[in-house]
Amino acid sequence: MGWQTRSTRVTYENPWIRVREDEVVRPDGGHGIYGVVELRHPAVFVVALDEDERVLLVEVDRYTVGASWEVVAGGSDGEPAEVAARRELLEETGLEADEWIAVGRMDALNGICVAPETVFLARGLRHVADADAHRAEEGITRSRWVAIRDALRMTATGKLTDGESIAALAMAAVHLGKL
């Protein structure tokens, strides 16, 4: 039977998200409500690799969880995914890349969100700009280069806990034949 939506009402919205409450008929035929968070624009994730196949991680001071090691990421702001990924890499790191490969697509928190995301692998990196102002605005406190296998190991030790970064690293590792 699947889910059926009987009615929808927006309970909150801002330029980045919209929250709605749906009256639903569940797959078992029962009635209920379902809260859904919709991202206004899809997100992008960038696994930036240097010539030694080390990935660039940034530490972000997140309002929700505190310090978090992550791959470069951000909202597309309505831009095509690759354009947004290039912008995010430049803003957060001051880097540009010669090679861009879309390695996968995913949905964040798909039990409660409509949040599509695209993952890119970026190679042929070169430093072209100072990213300090944007890094401060985003809460990025530092960055480090880590072998991709070590970045994946960080997920098992609790040093890297951002689920979307973990998935992005796994997609890149599969593409590179590392998994």
**Helix residue ranges per DSSP H, 35-116:** 81-93
Question: And the tokens for 64?
Answer: 């929700």
* Model confidence at 24: pLDDT above 90: yes
* Model confidence at 179: pLDDT above 90: no
pLDDT digits (tens, 9 = 90+) for 32-82: 999 999 999 999 999 999 999 999 999 999 999 999 999 999 999 999 999
Asked if residues 88 and 96 have their Cβ atoms less than 8 Å apart, the reply is: no
pLDDT digits (tens, 9 = 90+) for 113-152: 999 999 999 999 999 988 888 888 889 999 999 999 999 9
Q: What is the pLDDT of residue 1?
A: 66
* Range 133-142 contact pairs with CB under 8 angstroms and sequence separation of 24 or more: 134/91, 134/92, 135/58, 135/92, 138/60, 138/91, 138/92, 139/60, 139/61, 139/62, 139/63, 140/58, 140/59, 140/60, 140/61, 140/92, 141/59, 141/60, 141/61, 141/67, 142/58, 142/59
Q: What is the pLDDT of residue 136?
A: 86
Q: What is the pLDDT of residue 110?
A: 93
Q: How far apart are CA 144 and CA 86, in angstroms?
A: 19
Question: And the tokens for 119?
Answer: 């993952």
Q: What is the pLDDT of residue 34?
A: 96
Asked if residues 58 and 151 have their Cβ atoms less than 8 Å apart, the reply is: no
Answer with the residue of higher pLDDT: 139 or 10. Answer: 10
- Report the relative pairing of strands 95-107 and 116-127 from DSSP bridges: antiparallel
In this prediction the pTM is 0.93
Q: Mapping DSSP to helix (H, G, I), strand (E, B) and coil, where does residue 130 land?
A: coil
Q: What is the pLDDT of residue 5?
A: 97
